[in-house]
Amino acid sequence: PVVERTPRDETPTSTSLPVVERAQRDETRTQPPATFDWRRRYARRLAATDAIAIIWVVFGTQIAWLGLDADLTTRSRLQFGDSAYWIFSALLVIAWLTALALNDSRSYRVIGVGPTEYKRIFDASFTLFGGIAILAFLLRIDVARGFLLISLPLGVAVLFAERWLWRQWLAAQRAMGGY
């Protein structure tokens, strides 16, 4: 067949190719590489289960340690109200998930292999809780230390266990020829 050439790049124009060839070319152009696609799906699954784990740990610890109606106060006895710990726990969950994301704990370069994934979870978690302790001290807010002291190690342990389970799943998928 006669192929028209464009003056710029010497590639065939889309109107000069048969319909089947155009469809095949367009299909290959729009599909992302398969390796990138599974990594993105895997990272989304990790993000979802990270969120479930952190919500479970933070709110579970709050209820177990403080009950349902604890008050958050400052040293000057300013009380924030009954819902203050619920708001604090929600902000803690958001901050923890953000810290994990900013620390690239779900980066395709570290997920599923080596100790770096666990190190990033550990670093993000301890940095966050250290920052919370410093802010609470500077702003003179009496955050229940027991609540934080239970949430941190329990949360890290649950995140480690969750990631280990995902690694086992990924290894099984790879053994069957996937991923």
Per-residue H/E/C for the chain: CCCCECCCCCCECCCCCCHHHHHHHHHHHHCCCHHHHHHHHHHHHHHHHHHHHHHHHHHHHHHHHHCCCCCCEECCCCECCCCHHHHHHHHHHHHHHHHHHHCCCCCCCCCCCCCHHHHHHHHHHHHHHHHHHHHHHHCCEECCHHHHHHHHHHHHHHHHHHHHHHHHHHHHHHHCCCC
**pLDDT tens over the chain, length 179 residues:** 555 555 554 555 555 555 555 555 555 555 555 556 888 899 999 999 999 999 999 999 988 887 766 655 544 454 555 677 888 899 999 999 999 999 999 988 888 888 999 999 999 999 999 999 999 889 887 777 888 899 999 999 999 999 999 999 988 988 898 77
Please enumerate in sequence order all residues whose Cβ is within 8 A of that of 107, keeping only pairs 6 or more positions apart, or say none. Answer: 43, 120
Q: CA-to-CA distance for 61 and 57, rounded, in angstroms?
A: 6
Both tokens of residue 107?
């980066």
Total-model pTM: 0.72
Give the Cα-Cα-Cα angle 101, 125, 149 (nearest 5 degrees).
150
pLDDT score of 39: 85
